[in-house]
Amino acid sequence: MRLEVAGQAKPAQPQAGSEPQATVIPLMPSPGLRLARILVPVANPATARGLMQMAGALGAGRNPAAIVALKVVTAPRGVSVEEARRYILPMREQYQGALAQATAYAGEVGLAISTELVVAGQIAAGILDYAGALPDLDLILLGWRGAMSARRVRRSVNQAVVSRANTSVAVLRLHGEELGPLHRILLPVGWGPHARLGLRLAERLAYNTHARVTVLRVLPMSGEVDWEGERAALIKLLEEEAPGLRYDTELRLSREPAAMPAILTEARREPCDLIIIGATDESWVRTWLFGAIPDQVAERAPCSVLLVHRGARV
């Protein structure tokens, strides 16, 4: 494996804000993550097109994933779900909303999707019940619009789905109206299962869109750093989880006081179109969707962000 190292090979004591250590790995793309089926619940017409763009980019390939766009309609208060189904489903065209936006986009770009409209007592329960009955489901892709405040997260459908789903879940927070072309993807990584899922999804996106990927590892300021050991561990992580990351994947090691500002600095150093970031240990806290760092990155990033949570079934 040929390595190209930018900057000093063995920095003794790098200072905060100094140029991170970069390694370029020439690998031929060949995505290993299998995505047989992607479920895309749509509720907001403003995010439906972006979600379909992301689903199409993730699901493309020689064996494309089956994409299911789902709209959940809640039964009116005081009306049973069974009764609501009897009068809503025959008039489904009047209730499609964001589902119509998703269908229109798919038709424009020739993306093959199936659509479903279901009636449930609660939206999150409707998504989870439908997902539980769907065979070969590998990913639930949700959207987020607006601020990621503690109050909104605590009451959100997304929080309920992320915390209760057995399958992996990704939430796309768009920067603007649509996703747009992907030229550069920034991927901050740790060693946990959610970061590993982020690597696998980045591998698929790089292969399908020809985007260039930068993998960023932020190290703490305290203590000594074995830069060669850290670089070797990062390369090993890629070999284990995403060996097919496309040509010119860049690895960057940065020593900074805090991870979140370092990620945003890197996103602005060389503008990127998407950040993929995995959940952290605080994701079980109801005031966070994916954890403190991922949520704050999504809130402040200068580009769209895909937050990922690895489910039990991967």
Quick: pLDDT tens for 29-58: 456 678 999 999 999 888 999 999 999 999
Whether residue 19 is predicted with pLDDT greater than 70 in this model: the reply is: no
| CA 304 to chain CA mean position, Å | 10
Boundary-marking domain end, from 173, 202, 236:
173
> How many domains is the chain built from?
2
More confident site: 189 or 15:
189
Residue 301 in domain? yes
Residue 43 in domain? yes
- 85: domain CATH number is 3.40.50.620
Domain check: are 44 and 112 in the same one? yes
Boundary-marking domain end, from 132, 154, 173:
173
Domain check: are 129 and 57 in the same one? yes
Whether residue 18 is predicted with pLDDT greater than 60 in this model: the reply is: no
Reported as a single tens digit per residue, the pLDDT across 53-89 is: 999 999 998 889 999 999 999 999 989 999 999 988 8
Domain check: are 54 and 152 in the same one? yes
Q: Which residue has the tokens 């993306």?
A: 111
Boundary-marking domain end, from 173, 203, 224:
173
Buried b (16+ CB within 10 A) or exposed e, 169-178: bbbbbbbeee
Q: Which residue has the tokens 């993929």?
A: 276
Domain check: are 103 and 190 in the same one? no
Q: What is the pTM of this model?
A: 0.88
Domain that holds residue 45: 37-173
Reported as a single tens digit per residue, the pLDDT across 265-311 is: 999 998 999 999 999 875 455 567 888 899 999 999 999 999 999 98
Domain check: are 255 and 149 in the same one? no
φ, ψ (nearest 5 deg) of residue 252: -125, 130
Domain check: are 104 and 152 in the same one? yes
Q: How many residues make up the chain in this entry?
A: 314
User: Two tokens at 97?
Assistant: 């909303």
Domain check: are 251 and 188 in the same one? yes
Domain check: are 56 and 152 in the same one? yes
